[in-house]
Amino acid sequence: MVHGVIMAGGSGTRFWPHSRRNRPKQLLNISGQKTMIQATVDRIAPLIPHERIVVIAGASYIDELKNQLPELSEDQVLAEPVGRNTAPCIALAAYKLRNRDPDAIMAVLPADHVVGKEREFLEALKVAVDTVLTHGEHLLTFGIVPNRPETGYGYIRVGEPLSGSGPKTVYKVSQFVEKPDLPTAESYLASGEYMWNSGMFVWKAADIITSLDRHLPDLSCAIREISSFLGTAEEAEAIKRAYDGIEPISIDNGVMEKADNVLCLPIDVDWNDVGCWASLECVWDSDGGGNTIRGQVVSLQSRDCIVSSPHKLATLIGVKNLIVVDTPDALMICRKDRAQDVKKLQEILKDRGYEHLL
Pair type for strands 194-204 and 322-326: unpaired
Q: Is 322 in the site for a copy of itself (CB under 8 A)?
A: yes
Q: Is 344 in the site for a copy of itself (CB under 8 A)?
A: yes
Q: How far apart are CA 159 and CA 264, in angstroms?
A: 9
Q: How far apart are CA 342 and CA 350, in angstroms?
A: 13
- Please state, as a whole number, how many other Cβ atoms lie within 10 Å of the Cβ of residue 177: 14
191 by Cβ neighbours in 10 Å (0-12 / 13-18 / 19+) ranks as exposed
Nearer to a copy of itself, 1 or 313 (CB): 313
How far is CA 285 from each of CA 26, 288, 307, 321, rounded to the nearest angstrom? 20, 9, 11, 16
Site string for a copy of itself, 245-284 (x = CB under 8 A): ----------------------------------------
Q: Which of 70, 166, 260, 317 binds a copy of itself (CB under 8 A)?
A: 317
Q: Is 357 in the site for a copy of itself (CB under 8 A)?
A: yes
Q: Which of 49, 151, 314, 355 binds a copy of itself (CB under 8 A)?
A: 314
Q: Between residue 145 and residue 184, which ones bind a copy of itself under the rule CB under 8 A?
A: none
Q: Is 330 in the site for a copy of itself (CB under 8 A)?
A: yes
Q: Which of 125, 205, 342, 355 binds a copy of itself (CB under 8 A)?
A: 342
Site string for a copy of itself, 7-46 (x = CB under 8 A): ----------x-----------------------------
Q: Between residue 127 and residue 146, which ones bind a copy of itself under the rule CB under 8 A?
A: none
**Which of 330, 236, 276, 249 is CA-nearest to residue 85?**
249
Q: Which of 101, 218, 341, 355 binds a copy of itself (CB under 8 A)?
A: 341
Which positions ≥6 away from 122 have C-beta within 8 Å?
43, 44, 46, 47
Q: Is 350 in the site for a copy of itself (CB under 8 A)?
A: no
**Which of 108, 85, 264 is CA-nearest to residue 201?**
108
First-to-last C-alpha distance (Å) of the chain: 40
Q: Is 300 in the site for a copy of itself (CB under 8 A)?
A: yes
- Closest approach, Cβ 310 to a copy of itself, in A, equals 12
Pair type for strands 171-177 and 114-115: unpaired
Contacts 24+ apart (CB under 8 A), 285-294: 291/316
Contact set with a copy of itself (CB under 8 A): 17, 298, 300-301, 309, 312-319, 322, 324, 326, 328-335, 337-338, 341-342, 344-345, 348-349, 352, 354, 357
